[in-house]
Structure 1
């Protein structure tokens, strides 16, 4: 058996990849068992709440809306493989900033990372063998390790990029929504009705802001206090401008000042900030343009200016130096 494995590079590669997968799987299972025991000792109440949520208390709104990834993650956890992260609260906040508000988003994120760790090396090795190449053992190990590490960090990069784009879209669209909200409040609507109206009006122009305002309006309709709804709005957005805006609304509500004047002042301030950001980007353009100018155009200009002198030196000075 050993001679057969040693004689064929394909069988040897399959055996080594199987050993790598088995060791990685055993390590992952052992780490998850340790994390599960620690979480059970430290967060028993949260597990009880999760079991209650997984029972028959699901609402009609969420019934049947679980994705295939969520069902796969739930079946893996029922089989004994914990997909809980050691920093679950921080991961949930990061996913909410990227727009993933589902309760099963952290488990799906961990499942995707685990799948990519094995899928990317397997796909690369399959492509190499189908292409007719027979890589060495060290090459297989190096490629598998590099792609496994890349698959481990790729979801983090995607979530961070999506969170940055979402924050930028919220920052760019929020001043327009504030102007519409100010018009609604001056027309006689309350803050709850104004949020709901503006959320429905800007659903096509600024969908991220529309989602935030609609969620805050639904929380207010459901009976939550204004402090809770506004703080939840700021936490979900993860943007400093909206956090300051909600703080102003909370203070205005507690002190009894006019909400319309508060919105007018803050809308003007946000428009000024947006204008300053645009000017900052405009002032950065000369510096950014100078880089391709120096890299591409300066050598060409130097060559054009120096080429006639170089030709004359070669024709006239070089023969004199050579004694001609």
Structure 2
């Protein structure tokens, strides 16, 4: 019993110290920002959200040394596939994951202590909080990745059609990509963001083929586009012809998927019909004869 109380006291002390260190670091960062702005003559326009993002970035920059280089590269690919700028978002995401790994178990431990639960339940709550703190950032990133990939799949044929029009009008590749990105900024922000990243890679990377290969690894919806444009640039085939064939293939693939979903609809409607429609039909069709039989037998008895 003494060991259990000692462990609980140690856990509370660690949680309190962590919370105090977090508050101290936030206060020091805000104070440094205000002092630097006052020295430079910049008006204080800092908001709580910017302070929080900057604090998460600083935490992520400190804790990223605990990640292997392979894990960092994989996390960069996942962030880029979710529609984020991985250069800016990587330390913020590591900081958010680190804070959630500490915050959820501390919150679960505190709630269990306030509820007066026994020590075994407190440990179970703490372990569940740790599991939630580790898994919730991954689940959020997975949901954002699926939404970004769905938006990319939806807007890729339109983007390719606009690129065909721009290329046939005599525009260069970079200018065509920039114009299409500007045109699709309102209708499909995911495509516009992907094209901005592609333009940055075209300016930085040594060859265009590498930029389009990197674009192909960003999303499943852009894999065929990036691969075919890279091959077209490598072998010198006409770009407009390649883009037109990609657009036709993507639209045919979309129609095929819609037809497949329509064919599956009948089988999917079987379970709701059995559970909800058939019992109501049996009641409507069988209730009247049953009531007539009951009335007839009751009249015979009299």
Same fold by TM-score, threshold 0.5 exceeded? yes
Out of 173, 179, 191, the position equivalent to 2:173 is 191
**2:263 maps to 1:283:** yes
Runs of 4+ in 1 over 6 A off after TM superposition: 19-22, 312-318
Quote how far apart the aligned CAs of 1:273 are. Answer: 1.4
Q: Distance in 1 between matches of 2:297 and 2:129?
A: 59
Quote how far apart the aligned CAs of 1:116 are. Answer: 2.2
Q: Which position in structure 2 is the counterpart of 1:74?
A: 61
Q: Which position in structure 2 is the counterpart of 1:15?
A: 9
Out of 136, 139, 143, the position equivalent to 2:118 is 136
Q: Distance in 1 between matches of 2:228 and 2:63?
A: 45
Q: Which position in structure 1 is the counterpart of 2:45?
A: none
What SS class does the counterpart of residue 67 from structure 1 fall into? helix
Q: 1:306 to 1:120 in 2, by over 3 A?
A: farther
Q: Is the CA contact (8 Å cut-off) linking 1:83 and 1:111 kept in structure 2?
A: no
Q: Distance in 1 between matches of 2:131 and 2:170?
A: 57
Out of 132, 154, 166, the position equivalent to 1:172 is 154
Q: Is the CA contact (8 Å cut-off) linking 2:76 and 2:86 kept in structure 1?
A: no
Out of 61, 67, 72, the position equivalent to 1:84 is 67
**2:77 maps to 1:93:** yes
Q: Is the CA contact (8 Å cut-off) linking 1:230 and 1:246 kept in structure 2?
A: yes
Q: Distance in 1 between matches of 2:110 and 2:55?
A: 26
What RMSD over aligned residues (CA atoms) do the two structures have, in Å? 3.7
Greater percentage in helix: 2
Q: Is the CA contact (8 Å cut-off) linking 2:181 and 2:192 kept in structure 1?
A: yes
**2:296 maps to 1:296:** no
Q: Which position in structure 2 is the counterpart of 1:227?
A: 209
Q: Distance in 1 between matches of 2:152 and 2:93?
A: 24
Q: Write out per-residue CA displacement over residues 139-168 of structure 1, whole angstroms, 9 at most, x where no aligned residue.
A: 222222122212211111111111111111
**2:176 maps to 1:182:** no
Q: Distance in 1 between matches of 2:203 and 2:93?
A: 32
Q: Which position in structure 2 is the counterpart of 1:32?
A: none
Q: Distance in 2 between matches of 1:223 and 1:91?
A: 21
Q: Is the CA contact (8 Å cut-off) linking 1:193 and 1:217 kept in structure 2?
A: no
Tell me whether 223-232 or 170-179 shows the greater mean CA deviation.
Answer: 223-232
TM-score normalised to the size of structure 1? 0.69
Q: Distance in 2 between matches of 1:249 and 1:189?
A: 16
Q: Which position in structure 2 is the counterpart of 1:60?
A: none
Q: Write out per-residue CA displacement over residues 84-133 of structure 1, whole angstroms, 9 at most, x where no aligned residue.
A: 15733222222221123333644443433332233223334544666xx3
Q: 1:296 to 1:129 in 2, by over 3 A?
A: farther
Q: Structure 2: any 5+ residue segments left out of the alignment?
A: 17-49
Q: Which position in structure 2 is the counterpart of 1:54?
A: none
